[in-house]
């Protein structure tokens, strides 16, 4: 007798939409395949195999690990969602009548797991070779417990074999990795080139700063003039990680509290910018993250309860070859994201823009983004290497890893003292400020519009599996349940019943079996 078990989700990717939400949940569906094959023998006819399936437990588990020279090794269990698929008592399964088949008989037991909506997306981070990088991962596990039912037909040889055959069995399925991705859906505008995705813009009233002067005796723009300069920055609320550029708008004006001659003497000569990606590695979960996200208690965390699939180098911790993580230790890596060959310097025409007007002086630029060469910045401000490491990561926060982005801007301000009419001297200062950026993953257009383009009453040919083409609930309805209507695509199509066969699971409790799918041969 041979028993095998395998996990077959409808999709190996789980797509979530919008920011992490502890009050939401997503469905992960599929089936667990249980196969039975009778043992063939030269001395005995193959006999039907009858098993009593006592338990079939399915578990979805998430984990986050960090391994680096600066922080050591640490691990966190993100979640553990388990369902017993045989909840109404043991189930008898048998391959009677088909015991001669070499490939055996198979039963598919359906499941539907609710997955918490606050989980961070799958990603790799840390140090080591690419194949051994630590990070955030999710897996499905399945364990079947069964015992064999005697068939009542015994021969001398079969009785001898039964003495060495285990009556109770336990079988573990190979773990099934699940890729969790978090998407943000953009809005769309119509143009002659079709529907163009975009995110609304956000405006920030920034607080500027002046770097410390190395020579206090040097002539500089008076501080009260620099303090009177007001700056507004405008960027998209979110930027897709697949974008190659994004728009930037900067508005500058001088305060009306200055004299008119002083305001007219101030100019913006140029500005420079840089896009930075800050990766923060933490050796322990910060209390704030644990407050807003329901992580399992410390009693269920490693090393109290080890991870089912730890990092391959985790065993070295027991031998003292790698150090455990120190408490409350963190390090930050910064990488520039400007496109290669771009200096980020913008020289304004006509010797700059005067701040003597009544309104705002407006400057607009398109910021190019790098997609291939992302290099780190050392403590001296210089790029430490030229080896490409990663593409742009989405802005995110997880127990051991945080990614944030910022746009660093420097404005060069010039000033000519009106009282120096004989020999005017141009004084210059540099204003520094930064704007927060948020990079996100966006779904493909097919994923967004697939459920809205079919006319009412049409029947498309069946294609399995279709879970990857289904839009999220939040894309079709608002949080209060009101339907989202797209004036360009029209009303959503009416429901069309595609299948008239029997229902194989309880709609009220979909994780419990009410009947088994007939065996396939």
Quote the pLDDT of residue 378: 42
Residue 250 and residue 236 share a domain: yes
Domain enclosing residue 481, as ranges:
1-183+292-324+456-521
CA dihedral 102, 107, 113, 119 (to 10 degrees): 0
Residue 380 and residue 242 share a domain: yes
| Residues pairing with 109 in the sheet | 32
> How long is the chain?
521
Residue 198 and residue 175 share a domain: no
Quote the pLDDT of residue 166: 53
| Residues pairing with 275 in the sheet | 407
**What angle (nearest 5°) sits at the alpha carbon of residue 115, between those of residues 143 and 446?**
115
Domain assignment present for residue 447? The answer is no
CATH number at residue 411: 2.60.40
Residue 392 and residue 267 share a domain: yes
Domain boundary among 440, 468, 490: 440
| Rounded-to-integer distance, Cα 436 and Cα 205, Å | 12
Domain assignment present for residue 446? The answer is no
Q: What does the buried/exposed string (b/e) look like for 78-105 if buried means 16 or more CB atoms within 10 Å of the residue's CB?
A: bbebebebbeeeebebbbeebbeeeebb
Quote the pLDDT of residue 347: 85
Domain boundary among 412, 440, 468: 440
Cβ atoms 310, 322 nearer than 8 A: no
Domain assignment present for residue 451? The answer is no
Cα–Cα separations (whole angstroms), residue 76 to 24, 289, 296, 304:
22, 13, 9, 11
Residue 116 and residue 49 share a domain: yes
| Rounded-to-integer distance, Cα 102 and Cα 1, Å | 11
Domain assignment present for residue 490? The answer is yes
Residue 80 and residue 157 share a domain: yes
| Rounded-to-integer distance, Cα 27 and Cα 507, Å | 14
Residue 4 and residue 106 share a domain: yes
User: Taking the CB of residue 320, how many other CB atoms lie within 10 A of it?
Assistant: 8
Q: Each residue's pLDDT tens digit in the chain (521 positions)?
A: 678 899 999 999 999 999 999 999 999 999 999 988 776 554 556 667 788 899 999 999 999 998 877 777 889 999 999 999 998 888 888 877 666 666 678 889 999 999 999 999 999 887 654 445 689 999 999 999 988 877 655 555 555 555 555 556 889 999 999 999 999 998 887 766 667 888 999 999 988 887 666 566 567 888 888 888 999 999 999 999 989 999 999 999 988 778 888 888 899 999 999 999 999 998 889 888 999 999 999 999 998 999 999 888 776 665 555 556 566 688 898 989 998 888 888 888 777 888 888 889 999 999 999 876 444 444 344 444 434 445 799 999 999 999 999 999 999 999 888 777 666 788 888 999 999 999 999 988 655 544 333 333 334 444 444 444 556 666 677 767 777 665 554 555 565 555 444 434 333 444 443 334 444 43
Residue 268 and residue 371 share a domain: yes
Domain assignment present for residue 313? The answer is yes
Predicted TM-score (pTM) of this structure: 0.77
| Rounded-to-integer distance, Cα 252 and Cα 426, Å | 20
Quote the pLDDT of residue 105: 81
Residue 196 and residue 164 share a domain: no
Domain boundary among 394, 416, 440: 440
Quote the pLDDT of residue 258: 84
Residue 357 and residue 316 share a domain: no
CATH number at residue 121: 2.60.40.640
User: Taking the CB of residue 506, how many other CB atoms lie within 10 A of it?
Assistant: 14
Domain assignment present for residue 445? The answer is no
Quote the pLDDT of residue 31: 96
Cα–Cα separations (whole angstroms), residue 99 to 106, 309, 408, 471:
12, 36, 71, 44
| Rounded-to-integer distance, Cα 236 and Cα 223, Å | 32
DSSP string, 170-197: EEEPPPEEEEEEEE-PPEEEEETTEEEE
Domain assignment present for residue 449? The answer is no
CA dihedral 285, 290, 294, 300 (to 10 degrees): 40
CA dihedral 9, 11, 17, 22 (to 10 degrees): 10
| Rounded-to-integer distance, Cα 314 and Cα 73, Å | 8
Domain assignment present for residue 450? The answer is no
Residue 312 and residue 260 share a domain: no
| Residues pairing with 106 in the sheet | 35, 520
Total structural domains within the chain: 2
Q: Dig out the tokens for 226 from the structure.
A: 């620099």
Residue spans of alpha helices (H) in 237-363: 260-264, 287-292, 315-318
Residue 37 and residue 164 share a domain: yes
């Amino acid at each position: 007798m041979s028993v095998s078990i395998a996990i077959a989700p409808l999709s190996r990717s789980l797509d979530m939409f919008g920011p992490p939400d502890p009050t939401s949940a997503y469905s992960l569906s599929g089936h667990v395949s249980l196969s039975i094959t009778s043992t063939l023998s030269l001395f005995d006819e193959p006999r039907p195999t009858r098993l009593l399936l006592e338990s079939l437990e399915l578990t979805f588990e998430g984990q986050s690990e960090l391994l680096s020279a600066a922080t050591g090794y640490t691990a966190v269990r993100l979640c553990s969602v388990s369902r017993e698929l045989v909840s109404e008592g043991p189930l008898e399964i048998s391959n009677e009548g088909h015991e001669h088949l070499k490939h055996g008989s198979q039963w598919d037991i359906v499941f539907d797991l609710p997955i918490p909506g606050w989980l961070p997306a799958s990603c790799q981070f840390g140090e080591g070779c690419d194949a051994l990088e630590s990070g955030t991962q999710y897996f499905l596990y399945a364990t079947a417990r069964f015992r064999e039912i005697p068939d009542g037909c015994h021969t001398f040889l079969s009785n001898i074999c039964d003495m060495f055959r285990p009556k109770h069995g336990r079988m573990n399925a190979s773990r099934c990795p699940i890729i969790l991705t978090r998407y943000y859906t953009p809005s769309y505008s119509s143009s002659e080139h079709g529907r163009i995705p975009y995110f609304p813009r956000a405006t920030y009233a920034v607080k500027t700063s002046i770097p410390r002067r190395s020579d206090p005796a040097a002539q500089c723009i008076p501080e009260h003039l620099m303090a009177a300069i007001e700056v507004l920055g405008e960027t998209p609320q979110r930027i897709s990680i697949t974008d190659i550029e994004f728009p930037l708008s900067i508005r500058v004006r001088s305060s009306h509290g200055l004299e008119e001659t002083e305001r007219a003497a101030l100019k913006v000569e140029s500005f420079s910018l840089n896009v930075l990606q800050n990766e923060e590695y933490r050796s322990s979960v910060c209390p704030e993250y644990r407050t807003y996200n329901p992580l399992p208690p410390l009693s269920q965390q490693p090393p109290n309860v080890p991870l089912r699939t730890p990092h391959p180098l985790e065993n070295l911790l027991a031998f003292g070859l790698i150090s455990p993580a120190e408490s409350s230790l963190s390090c930050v890596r910064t990488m520039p994201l400007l496109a290669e060959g771009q200096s980020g310097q913008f020289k304004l025409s006509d010797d700059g823009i005067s701040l003597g007007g009544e309104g705002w002086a407006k400057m607009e630029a398109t910021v190019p983004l790098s997609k291939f060469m992302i290099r780190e910045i050392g403590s001296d401000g210089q790029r430490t290497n030229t080896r490409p490491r990663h593409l742009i990561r989405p802005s995110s926060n997880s127990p051991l890893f945080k990614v944030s982005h910022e746009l660093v801007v420097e404005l060069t301000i010039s000033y000519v003292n009106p009282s120096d009419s004989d020999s005017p001297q141009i004084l210059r200062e540099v204003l520094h400020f930064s704007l927060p950026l948020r990079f996100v993953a966006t779904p493909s257009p097919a994923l967004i519009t697939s459920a809205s383009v079919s006319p009412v009453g049409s029947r498309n040919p069946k294609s399995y599996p279709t879970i990857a083409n289904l839009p999220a609930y939040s894309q079709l309805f608002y949080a209060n349940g009101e339907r989202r209507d797209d004036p360009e695509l029209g009303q959503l199509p009416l429901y069309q019943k595609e299948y008239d066969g029997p229902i194989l699971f309880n709609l009220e409790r979909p994780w419990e079996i009410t009947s088994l799918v007939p065996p396939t041969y």
